[in-house]
Amino acid sequence: MQRRRFMQAVTTASTAATAAAQQTPPAGEPIKIGTVSADAAAEPVSRFFTSRQLAVLRHLSRLILPASNGRPGAAEAGAAEFLDFLISVSPAPRQQLYRGGLDFVDAEAERLFAKPFPEIDEQQADKILRPLLTPWTFDPPANPRQRFLAELRADLRTATMNSKEMARATANSPRRRRGPGGAAPYWLPIDPTR
Amino acid sequence: MANQNYDVLIVGSGHSGGMAAGVLTQKGLRCLMLNAGPVVDFERDRKFKAAHELPYRGFGNPNAHLDHVYQANEFNANTWVSEKEAPYSYPPGAPYNWVRVRLVGGRSLFWARQSFRLSDYEFKAADHDGAGDNWPISHDDLAPYYSRVERQFRVTGRKEGLPQFPDGDFVSVADGSESECQKRITAEARKMEIPVSRMRAALGEGGLASSVNLSIPGALATGKLDVVQNAVVREITVDKDTGRASGVIFLDRHTRREMRARARVVVLAAGTLESTRLLLNSNIANSSGLVGRYLIDQQYGCTVIAAMPEARDGKANPALIGGGLFIPRFRNLDTKSKRNFRGGYAIPMSTGSTPDAKYFPEYGAALQKKLDSYAGACVQGGIYGEVLPRYENHVRINKEQKDAWGIPTLHIEARYGENERNLCRDAADTMEELYKAAGLEILVKSDKVNPPGYSIHELGTCRMGDDPKKSVLNKFNQSHDIKNLFVVDGSAFVTGGWQNPTMTILALSMRASEYLADELKKGNL
Ligand SMILES: Cc1cc2nc3c(=O)[nH]c(=O)nc-3n(C[C@H](O)[C@H](O)[C@H](O)COP(=O)(O)OP(=O)(O)OC[C@H]3O[C@@H](n4cnc5c(N)ncnc54)[C@H](O)[C@@H]3O)c2cc1C
């Protein structure tokens, strides 16, 4: 037998064997295995920011978006930990903006108060943050520190509004479906090219 | 063996292609529709999910390659064309937002359904104020087709009797009670001789006004339409002896297998820029040298937000504030309304909104206090602004860049100029004046707009006209150079006006398709 023919025969035989080994699902109700999300079962491992940067980010998240009106704030929503992941997979300029911004506020805390940023209080932090706040214009602020704060404010808000904790806190609100944490139609990949 | 007896081959299945298929099959013609992407199954492809259940908590995958699709979010990311798979280029510092959908149904699956007619201020722009050339047709020519489209798409609206805002064949009146805020703005606008109306929108059927429910099913039911999904058309083929279009070459989206399809007539309905790209890549129908020229769209942005003081601090209620308003074009209609720009703009306005947190330079509890104070108390307006057709704004083939199917891509050069900037300044100033007159407190005022393309209303790159030297298509969307080739999407536009273009695209496609069928019957094609 020529080698090609031989290989064909072997392949055909093994295909038949695989088919024979396959099981047939039972008739009736389709089998459903319930699962929980990874977030429900485990906690994220921070991998992008240094532990110092992450501590700065956590402090910022408490200051910028505290819990209010019975709704969770950025800290309760784990926004800093989520941003550690999101920024880690983001393009380099965004990574740079975040790292630079976190290091800057930390260095300012040392310069003004001889303390790391995570240890300064609200009034002290305001001395650093207020000058970075800019009124909204169509274009993002050109100054990278101001831009950092503008993006951080928006990102913390999104991470918090879209969190599981927010969904839980607003579960009984009539505006839930369209409001924070609410559900919407999600499009799965449609016949994707492989 | 393939069925090769098609009368008409239609590239694209969106509003324009769906309409063509509907009309042509009704006329008894055998049609083949090729579409670059797959059929959507709303049940299978869409699931209700909370943002926290998505992999990126609603932020979207930062590497989704949808950099210019500002409309994209994690919920809908899988519906847009990836800029990695189908890239395009633009000059440094002059980005263009090209927003595409390749599913069967195209952008008709997701459009916002705002439905307007163009008026003779746009059709006869050259005669009026020189904001572009004249079309070879007028509103009267298109009116019967507009009416039929409006009935098919079930457009609602309020009749106004304004020449710049032609009334349609509306299925019902979009009216209802007015809030105090709406009344106040309307009264002040009247003093400024600015008309105020309501939004006009297509209801469709069951909340969907798409080719996939309003035109393609009817065409399929005739038994005269074949639809091939995942067929990426690369070029139009031309018979060397006769110079006539003979069909197309397409590639299977998954396997890249190359196929040839034939028909007596070819209709391009791939969306303005894809149809233009096909003509340029095929190197045909361009004796005028104008294929790709005069790219127009509409400028969106120019945000002015104001608060109604009486509605702040928890006092907002439906009697006081809420409901939308729509200000159609009011500039440059006569010498009195003339300003330092040509063309016009409309102002869509909502009342009773809460401004985004980004508008307040605050954080922490202070920000929350502001948000609470302004909740539901705001009025927000933007513009649908006209963009003048200019020869320099164009697309051409970028030979250096190919898409995932090896097809050369488009280079898009579009910039807004002084006219557009002056228009925006006037719009922002006018909104500010109007809000202040109505006793509102201005929170945000910006005369800036999004990059060209953002409105998703790209138009004009195969303009129609009577003179084959100055236009690509004749007044029936038929190529001057190749008689059995038609382009029925927005590329035929001569001016864009401020009006969302889909009603006009549909009316033109309907009119062109009826003409095509008649000409075929007469043996003229
Ligand atoms: C979010 C959104 C909101 C909008 N809101 C409004 C509105 O309120 N009012 C309004 O008037 N307009 C609106 N529009 C614009 C409107 O959707 C378009 O004007 C209209 O749908 C264009 O229809 P079309 O048939 O010309 O193109 P498309 O809808 O783009 O259809 C083109 C089809 O051609 C196919 N195709 C492209 N290239 C190829 C190829 N090479 N081979 C094979 N097939 C190909 C594509 O798969 C696609 O299905 C909106 C659009 C969007 C996305």
Q: B134-189: per-residue pLDDT in tens?
A: 999 999 999 999 999 999 999 999 999 999 999 999 997 756 789 999 999 999 99
Segment B60-81 shows an average pLDDT of 96
Which A positions 94-153 lie with beta carbon below 8 A of chain B? 94, 122, 129, 133-139, 150, 153
Say yes or no to pLDDT of A186 above 50.
Answer: yes
In sequence order, which residues have a C-beta less than 8 Å from that of residue B458 and are 6 or more positions away?
B98, B271, B272, B273, B295, B296, B297, B490
Residue numbers in A near B76 (CB within 8 A): 187
Q: What is the mean pLDDT of residues A3-32?
A: 65
What is each CA distance from A12 to A3, A5, A6, B519, in whole angstroms? 14, 11, 10, 57
Mean pLDDT, rounded, for B93-97: 97
Which among B54, B365, B448 has CB closest to A68? B365
By DSSP bridging, strand B46-50 and strand A183-187 are antiparallel
B123 CA to middle of ligand 1, Å?
22
**SS3 call for A133:** coil
What pLDDT, in 10s, does the model give residues B403-459? 999 999 999 999 999 999 999 999 999 999 999 999 999 999 999 999 999 999 999
- Give which of B150, B190, B210 is closest to B174, Cα–Cα: B150
CA-closest residue to ligand 1 atom 51: B111
Contact B271, B281 (CB under 8 A): no
DSSP three-state, residue A101: helix
% pLDDT > 90, chain B: 96
What are A190's two structure tokens?
């449609």
What b/e string do you get for B407-417 counting C-beta neighbours within 10 Å, with b at 16 or more? bbbbbbbbebe
- Of B146, B456, B458, B509, the residue with max ligand 1 atoms within 8 A of its CB, to mutate for a pocket test, comes to B456
Whole-angstrom distance, CA of residue B460 vs CA of residue B293: 7
Nearest-neighbour CA in chain B from A2: distance (Å): 31
Residue at B131: amino acid letter: A
Point out the residue among B38, B358, B364 whose CB comes nearest to the CB of A154.
B358
Ligand 1 contact via B319 beta carbon (within 6 Å): no
Atom of ligand 1 nearest to the CA of B275: 38
pLDDT at B474 exceeding the cut of 90: yes
Would you give the DSSP letter of residue B293?
A: -
> Coil, helix or strand for A128?
helix
Return the HEC string of B200-259: CEECCECCECCHHHHCHHHHHHCCCEEEECCEEEEEEEECCCCCCEEEEEEEECCCCCEE
**Pairwise CB contact (< 8 Å): B59 & A187:** no
Backbone angles phi, psi at B417, to 5 degrees: -120, -160
β B441-445/B298-307 pair status: antiparallel
User: What share of chain A in percent tops pLDDT 70?
Assistant: 85
Q: Rounded mean pLDDT of chain B?
A: 96
Q: Is residue B388 pLDDT above 80, yes or no?
A: yes
Helix (H, G, I), strand (E, B) or coil at A40: helix
Residues of chain B found within 8 Å of residue A37, distances taken between Cβ atoms: 53
Q: Of the candidates B359, B339, B355, B324, which has an alpha carbon nearest to the alpha carbon of residue B427?
A: B339
Give the DSSP letter of residue A30: P
Q: Report chain B residues whose CB lies below 8 A from the CB of A63.
A: 363-364
DSSP, collapsed to helix, strand or coil, labels residue B296 as: strand
**Distance between Cα B14 and ligand 1 center (Å):** 6
Name the residue among A150, A167, A188 with its Cβ closest to that of B52: A167
Distance B269 CA to ligand 1 centre (A): 9
What phi and psi, each to the nearest 5 degrees, are found at residue B48? Answer: -70, 130
User: Chain A residue closest to B79 (CA)?
Assistant: A187
Closest by Cα among B118, B94, B192 to B499: B118
- What are the CA-CA distances from residue B213 to residues A49, A74, B22, B118, B216 (Å)? 50, 43, 11, 25, 7
Distances (CA, A) of B188 to A48, B193, B516: 55, 9, 49
Closest-CA distance, A182 to chain B, in angstroms, reads 6
The answer, yes or no, to whether any atom of ligand 1 lies below 6 A from the CB of B482, is no
Give the model confidence (pLDDT) of B22-39 as tens digits.
999 999 999 999 999 999
Inter-chain touch A186–B48, beta carbons under 8 Å: yes
The one-letter amino acid at A43: E
Please state the atom number of ligand 1 nearest to the C-alpha of residue B104.
49
pLDDT of residue A1: 44
- Residue pair B235/B281 in contact (Cβ under 8 Å)? The answer is yes
- pLDDT average, residue stretch B388-409: 98
Between B131 and B87, the higher pLDDT residue = B87
Our CA-based measurement puts residue B255 at a distance from the nearest CA of chain A, in whole angstroms, of: 9
The percent of chain B in helix, strand and coil, each rounded to the nearest 5, is 25, 20, 50
Q: Tokens for B98? A: 């090209």
Contact A157 B357 (CB under 8 A): yes
What's residue B69's pLDDT? 96
Residue B509 beta carbon below 6 angstroms from any ligand 1 atom:
no
Q: Do B59 and A167 touch (CB under 8 A)?
A: no
Q: Is there an atom of ligand 1 within 6 Å of B102 CB? A: yes
For residue A176, what pLDDT band results from cuts at 50, 70 and 90?
A: low
Q: Which residues in chain A have Cβ-Cβ distances shorter than 8 Å to B359?
A: 136
Task: Return the residue of A nearest to B51 by Cα.
Answer: A162
ipTM over 0.95: no
State whether A139 and B448 contact (CB < 8 Å): yes
Q: How confident is the model at residue A173 (pLDDT cuts 50, 70, 90)?
A: confident
CA atoms within 13 A on the CB side of B323: 22
User: Residue B515 is encoded by which pair of tokens?
Assistant: 């003409």
Considering only CB atoms, which chain A residues are within 8 Å of B365? 66, 68
Q: Do A182 and B361 touch (CB under 8 A)?
A: no
Give the mean pLDDT of chain A.
88
Q: What is the mean pLDDT of residues B230-235?
A: 98
Ligand 1 atom closest to Cα of residue B407: 41
Q: Are B501 and B492 in contact (CB under 8 A)?
A: no
Which of B363, B443, B454 is the best substitution to test chain A (most A C-beta atoms within 10 A)? B363
A165 contact partners, CB below 8 Å, separation of at least 6: A72, A76, A77, A78
Is pLDDT above 90 for B131?
no
H helices present in B290-417, as ranges: 364-374
What is the sign, positive or negative, of the torsion defined by CA atoms of B87, B51, B202, B45?
A: positive
Task: Give residue A138 CA to ligand 1 midpoint distance, Å.
Answer: 27
What is the C-alpha separation between B9 and A18, in angstroms, rounded?
44
Q: How large is the average pLDDT for residues B44-58?
A: 94
Give yes or no for residue A17 having a pLDDT over 80: no
Gap from B29 CA to chain A (nearest CA, Å): 31
Contact (CB, 8 A) for B209 and B203: yes
pLDDT of A3 over the 90 cut: no
B116-130 per-position pLDDT tens digit: 999 999 999 999 988
Return the ligand 1 atom nearest residue B500 CA: 11
Mark yes or no for CB contact A162/B62 under 8 Å: no
Nearest-CA residue for ligand 1 atom 49 is: B106
Predicted pLDDT of residue A14:
54
- Asked if B391 and B380 touch (Cβ cutoff 8 Å), the reply is no
User: Span B281-286, mean pLDDT?
Assistant: 98
pLDDT at B383 over 70: yes
Q: For residue B202, which of B157, B139, B146 has the smallest C-alpha distance?
A: B157
What's the pLDDT at A179?
Answer: 54
Residues B78, A189: C-beta atoms closer than 8 Å: yes
> Does A185 contact B at CB distance below 8 Å?
yes
Taking residues B500-514, what's their average pLDDT? 98
Provide the whole-model pTM: 0.95
Q: Which amino acid, B79? A: T
Q: Where residue A171 falls among pLDDT bands split at 50, 70, 90?
A: confident
- The minimum CA-CA distance between A53 and chain B, rounded to whole Å, is 20
- Between the alpha carbon of residue B167 and those of residues B37, B251, B503, the distances in Å are 36, 44, 12
Which residues of chain B neighbour A131 with C-beta distances below 8 Å? none
Nearest to A53 by CA among A152, A173, A169: A152
Evaluate whether A97 touches A148 at the Cβ level (below 8 Å). Answer: yes
Q: What is the pLDDT of residue A19?
A: 58
Chains A and B: how many Cβ contacts under 8 Å? 129
**Distance in Å, CA B446 to ligand 1 centroid:** 29
What is the distance, to the nearest Å, from the Cα of residue B35 to the centroid of all Cα atoms in its chain?
A: 19
Using alpha carbons, select from B481, B510, B484, B483 the residue that is nearest to residue B263: B484
Q: How far is the CA of B76 from the centre of ligand 1 (A)?
A: 16
pLDDT given at position A24: 82
Q: Are B398 and B413 in contact (CB under 8 A)?
A: no
Task: With a cut of 70, say whether residue A9 has pLDDT above it.
Answer: no
Facing A86 at nearest CB: one of B49, B56, B103: B56
Q: Are A148 and A101 in contact (CB under 8 A)?
A: yes
pLDDT for the residue A69: 86
Best-predicted range by mean pLDDT (A36-50, A167-181, B172-186, B372-386):
B372-386
From B49, B53, B446, residue closest to A137, measured CB to CB: B446
Whether B133 and B494 have beta carbons less than 8 Å apart is answered as yes
Q: Does A191 touch chain B (CB under 8 A)?
A: yes
Question: Per the CB < 8 Å rule, is A138 touching B303?
Answer: yes
Structure tokens at B155: 């457009």
Q: What is the mean pLDDT of residues B351-355?
A: 97
**Residue of chain A whose Cα is closest to the Cα of B59:** A158
Contacts of B200 (CB under 8 A, 6+ apart): B114, B115, B116, B155, B156, B157, B158, B168, B170, B174, B326
Which amino acid residue places its CA nearest to atom 35 of ligand 1? B12
Instruction: Determine if residue A172 is left, alpha or beta; phi over 0 gives left, psi from -120 to 50 gives alpha, anything else beta.
Output: alpha
If one compares A115 and A7, the residue with the highest pLDDT of the two is A115
Residue B74 has pLDDT above 50, yes or no: yes
Angle value at C-alpha A114, between A112 and A119, nearest 5 degrees: 100
Whether the CB-CB separation of B502 and B115 falls below 8 Å is answered with: yes
Q: Are B78 and B55 in contact (CB under 8 A)?
A: no
